[in-house]
Amino acid sequence: MSTSRYTLDSLAANPLDRTVTRLLYVSAAHYSAEWHSTLHTHPCAELFFVTGGNGYLRLKDKTVPIAIDDLIIVNSNVEHTEVSSDDLSLEYIVMGIDGLEALAGDKGDDGYSIVHFQSDREPILFYLQNLLKELETKLPGYNTVCQDLLEVVLLQLMRRSEFTVTFVPTSRKSTRETAIVRRYIENHFKEDLTLDTLAEVAHVSKYYLAHNFTRECGTSPINYLLSCRIRESLYLLEETSMSLSDIAGTLGFSSPSYFSQSFRRIQGISPMQYRMQKRQTGKADVST
């Protein structure tokens, strides 16, 4: 009989500070090529692991291709969106993480980082799939298990040399409920959403949600929903010939007049004035 015995070094430093990083949410997403997402930010970092398809990560000043088995970290308050390719729709698992920052690029200020896991994807995928399972079943102690699995994923990342992960305590942390609702709005803003619906998603009362969301985001959940719809309408007004009635219906407005009223209140001009300005600007650019 032969035995291999290993002991833990009780003095070994733990590179993770679990009082700083905190898992806010986990979700699985599958986007079709028809889905259009505009640039947006989150008060927390987001970690994506692409499980299928390909597309690109669009940032304010650049576009980066992403594909299956890529892991992407986008730091908090960095404008970004994910776009699917025409042939293979993106599928990914995403985590919202408070207190995390990835440093990449020559100056460490790119705001995002990408790691290619083609050769050793199984461990990362295993941990992420178990995170989803824990959140689906919510057995006793699932919060602790999820936080522990997050730390295993982060440690796996820190062992790679492509980038540096740092942990940044924030003076105003986002609550899990606010983070969940904010992302839900960004993914479902075309649907008929009410405060009751959003409170049910976060499993809190609508009064608690309205108070906390407003305190942390500076606007109410319904006003944030409205801003997402107006942001999408800018794209539709610029890039399509859809009528105002069709745009209003597509984005979940109760009527074209309410859409126009909301647009003018936020943008300062009517939707048709905005469309005419953009088209005149486009013609001027072509003529020059």
For 75-91, the pLDDT digits (tens) are 888 889 888 887 788 89
Question: What class does CATH assign to 22-167?
Answer: mainly beta
Q: Where are the domains of the chain?
A: 22-167, 176-281
Q: Which residue, 247, 251, 249, is CA-closest to 229?
A: 251
Rounded to whole angstroms, the Cα distance separating 261 from 164 reads 47
- What is the pLDDT, as a whole number, of residue 272? 93
Residue 121 pLDDT exceeds 80? yes
CATH superfamily of 176-281: Homeodomain-like (1.10.10.60)
pLDDT in tens, 188-200: 899 999 999 999 9
Residue 103 pLDDT exceeds 80? no
pLDDT in tens, 5-28: 777 665 555 666 666 788 999 988
- Residue 205 CB neighbour total at 10 angstroms: 11
CB 259 within 8 A of CB 247: yes
- What is the pLDDT, as a whole number, of residue 12? 55
Least confident of 42-56, 200-214, 273-287: 273-287
Residue 139 pLDDT exceeds 90? yes
Is 181 or 31 the better-scoring residue by pLDDT?
A: 181
pTM of the model: 0.68
Q: Which residue, 101, 104, 121, 32, is CA-closest to 62?
A: 104
User: Is 176-281 in the same CATH topology as 22-167?
Assistant: no
For the segment 209-232, the average pLDDT, to the nearest whole number, is 90
What rounded mean pLDDT belongs to the chain?
Answer: 83
